Amino acid sequence: MLEGVNALFYASDLSSNECIIKGQEVRHITKVLRKQEGDKIYLTDGKGSIAQATIRQVVKQQLVLEIKEVTKVPRLEPKVTLAFSVLKQASRMEWMVEKATEFGVRAFQPLLSAHCIRSSLNVKRLESLALSAMKQSLQCYCPEIYPIQLFESFVKSDSDSIRLMAYTPERKKSFQNTWPAISNTKEITALVGPEGGFTREEANFASDCGFTRVSLGPNRLRAESASLAIVQQINVFSK
């Protein structure tokens, strides 16, 4: 959380001295927060910058802001890329993206694996949810959502990150016994399967490509729950 900041609003460009906000955020600022001309608010461009701005003018459906100060916020590590297999129900993917963004995921990589039923997703919808979750959780970096890749192409691609795969079919191993040391790690890729999980062939192929199999505990989790579980364990074990 950014100290002293209780609400964040989005502006794509913070490079000029003036900024205009339109749409739903105007209502939230003026009706919910009851901000008026002369009051201060905070903006982020979703790329790491935060700006203190003063409301200069309120005009029906827009606010004219004067940007006073812009600060670059360092990105927290590890930088986590969550590679998830596309799920059948769009609502479950949307929930997962929203919550994983709150946990600080850097990027999302949707995949098509053997058990995937759905082969497409609404990227703009997911981007909108990620942006909203970024603001709600008081972060300055909005995660990227990459184009869909085939499972095999993604896992065999070169990467300097530590690569983790949520796959322990017996589900009996404890968390610590399967997790490698990841403290002080800069980048981590976390791989999670679809409904029904990865096939044994996929799991073996990923292992051959450098993915470490990690446990998420003894219980069987839904795919979207597994995504949050692995991100949270990364947050815990990397500290």
CATH-assigned architecture of domain 9-72: Beta Barrel (2.40)
Class of the CATH-defined domain 79-237: alpha beta
Residues 6+ apart with CB under 8 A from 31: none
What Å distances lie between residue 41 and 3, 27, 58, 66, 136, CA to CA?
A: 14, 14, 13, 10, 14
- Looking at residue 1, its pLDDT comes to 43
Written as tens digits, the pLDDT of the chain (239 aa) is: 466 788 899 998 898 899 898 888 888 888 888 888 989 999 999 999 999 999 999 887 889 999 988 999 999 899 999 999 999 999 999 999 999 999 999 999 999 999 999 989 999 999 999 999 999 999 999 999 999 999 999 999 978 889 999 998 766 666 668 888 888 889 999 999 999 899 999 999 999 999 999 999 888 899 999 999 999 999 988 87
pLDDT of the residue at 237: 87
For the chain, domain boundaries: 9-72, 79-237
Cα 153 to Cα 88, 106, 199: the distances in Å are 21, 21, 16
Give the bridge partners for 111, in sequence order. Answer: 85, 149
Contact 55/37 with Cβ under 8 angstroms?
yes
Place of tokens 């913070």: 14
Q: Which of 107, 106, 105, 110 is nearest to 90 (CA)?
A: 110
Q: How much is the pTM?
A: 0.91
Q: What phi-psi label fits residue 60: left (phi over 0), alpha (psi between -120 and 50 degrees) or beta?
A: left
